[in-house]
Chain A
């Protein structure tokens, strides 16, 4: 794997490798927002750095919503290609969020689109909802889990209700998009969201 420097030109300096290493170190320092701005200028090294940093997280998160590896690969490709093509349009619009936040927003919508395409072919979306198990008390560190009450309430929530809440709150999807993602009718999504809210309120009251 060859390293391309910032402008595609070789860096003059004390040995070529030293220059390359320093560029790589420099990229490593930058946060994702700066990387996106560099990508907007056509910087392939910055794009590769962004990819290396965010793709493992993206894959893991997508796999928790879709069991089909092909779909996950497709969504990843489309997402990163969109970032490459239009980073200039995205840069500066991460209002109240992070670059990784809107990276996920793009990926989530592409996932919903992929499910829409398959829905037409009458294939059930291969989403997985893992069963739950309360961890042993001594393993809990307060800093790692959600504040006690909310965590308990979440755990007590029925899985199908939690799924809907996760799609709408954590993934930021609308009711229609959630319906496509989970393969449910819109009315069911709305009913479950309402029940989830009521139960959460009751648990937290």
Chain B
């Protein structure tokens, strides 16, 4: 950069203000001074030498600034991780996700204990419902105090929906993986219903409110699938491998509806 510094004439003309320099010289030197320390030091020297009013202003401002430094606190060290985490889930979701993990482990324990009685796998029964409750927690008006502000933001809508759902699944799916592996259930057998239920909750939630949709679907699941299975100790059709293509279809439909109605998640109604 040695050939590309501003000359003394230009710097002095710039410092003096007024009409000494032509327009392009002013523009060029201003752009240059922003990046070049050498020329800034040159400017400081020119100020000391020939622009007393500038030097006076510099000192006046410093004399007003210095006493305030002692009494003004600087920023303490920041917790970077908490800022990143808050982009993926609301602060109130964390205890609920912990609960979801706890429930899965409890299920695993129960499954082990009741291993003898029938072919019913509790993991299969529970898998679809867990993420649904997590999704409900992330959209619940009661659990998210800033729900109205969140709904009014540009980033709300599909973007935020996907982020929060992804974080719910990121916690629930590994827990279920552990549970499934320990009880010998095929991954796809519980994963597909799990995802299908999540998508359906979101899709229905766009119409009646995500938390309501979650409770409705959980209740339907409990009534239609869980109760008969527990009572008759037989896996119903919905849980058998033959039922998987139907689940796949439901998943695809759910995703389609969510994408098509993405504007619904920017409204207050989705937070009911």
Binding site for B on A (CB under 8 A): 31-32, 39-42, 44, 47, 51-57, 59-61, 63-64, 69, 72-73, 76-77, 80-81, 84-89, 98, 100-101, 104, 128, 130-135, 139, 141, 143-146, 150-152, 154-155, 157, 159, 162, 166, 170
Contacts and interface: CB of A to CB of B under 8 A. Distances in A.
B153 interface: no
B24 A151 contact: yes
22 contacts: A42-B74, A55-B58, A56-B44, A56-B55, A57-B33, A59-B47, A59-B58, A60-B14, A73-B61, A81-B68, A84-B74, A86-B75, A88-B75, A100-B34, A101-B34, A130-B19, A132-B19, A135-B21, A145-B25, A151-B28, A157-B23, A166-B27
Nearest to A154: B24
Nearest to B45: A56
Given A76-B61, A84-B74, A144 B7 contact: yes
Closest 7 CB pairs of A and B: A151-B24, A88-B75, A154-B24, A56-B47, A130-B19, A76-B61, A56-B44
B23 A57 contact: no
How many B residues touch the partner, as a band?
35 or more
Contacts of A151: 22, 24-25, 28
A146 B75 contact: no
Nearest to A72: B57
Contacts of B37: 31-32, 53
B14 to A, nearest CB: 7
A91 B14 CA distance: 30
Contacts of A144: 6-7, 10, 25, 28
A56 B41 CA distance: 9
B7 A73 contact: no
B177 interface: no
Contacts of B7: 141, 144
Of the listed residues A64, A81, A144, the one surrounded by the most CB atoms of chain B closer than 10 A to its CB is A144
Contact of A77 (B5, B40, B47, B65): B65
B64 interface: yes
Q: Is the interface of B mostly helix, strand, loop or mixed?
A: helix
B75 A77 contact: no
Contacts of B51: 60
A155 B17 CA distance: 17
Contact of B75 (A44, A72, A80, A87): A87
B120 interface: no
A53 B48 CA distance: 12
A59 B62 contact: no
A145 B24 contact: yes
Interface in B1-50: 3-7, 9-10, 14-15, 17-19, 21-28, 30-31, 33-35, 37, 40-41, 43-44, 47
